[in-house]
Amino acid sequence: MITVDVKRIGTHDLPLPQYATTGAAGFDITCAALFPIMVAPGRTVKVPCGFAYSIPTGYYGEVLGRSGLALQGIHAHVGTIDADYTGEVAAIVINNSPESFVVTYGSRIAQMLIKKVEKVELMQVAELAETERGSNGFGSTGTTVIKKPVVGGYVRYI
């Protein structure tokens, strides 16, 4: 286990971020804004989370959404918190639902995982090694069909 120093930013009284369960991969980060933040449909907002972290060299923080909010169309954009960044962490919240969503003080809006970084050396080459897939990209390995019942049959989602 590694230790990450945490600094409170601002005058809020939020508790330190914590893991919701013993098996949780990430700890919850909450809204530290002292006023409600409305996120209109189709809009993106920056939500201050009230803490800064000193992540050890060789690790980074990854801000991710929460599944319960995602089911409602509210997503936290994936964010990378580098080890040398010591400013306040914020969540970038996107409203993909048809209704406005209000983020309130203390609401769990995202989660952060601390992950190990494996540095790589990038080397320019004239050609890449041949693979079975090659340069075939999006959809080249097949499509996923999710069957949902609708009146008169099924809808195909790709």
Hey, how many other C-beta atoms are within 10 angstroms of the C-beta on 10?
A: 13
Q: Each residue of 53-76: pLDDT tens digit?
A: 999 999 999 999 999 999 999 999
Hey, how many other C-beta atoms are within 10 angstroms of the C-beta on 52?
A: 17
Nearest 10 degrees: Cα torsion 85, 2, 23, 52: -30
Task: Mean pLDDT check: name the lowest of 28-32, 65-69, 74-78, 151-155.
Answer: 151-155
Q: What is the mean pLDDT of the chain?
A: 91
Domain ranges of the chain: 5-116
Asked if residue 36 has pLDDT above 80, the reply is: yes
Reduced to 3 states, what is the DSSP secondary structure of residue 7? strand
Task: Mean pLDDT check: name the lowest of 7-21, 76-90, 102-116, 141-155.
Answer: 141-155
Tell me the CATH number for domain 5-116: 2.70.40.10
Give phi and psi for 68, each to the nearest 5.
-60, -40
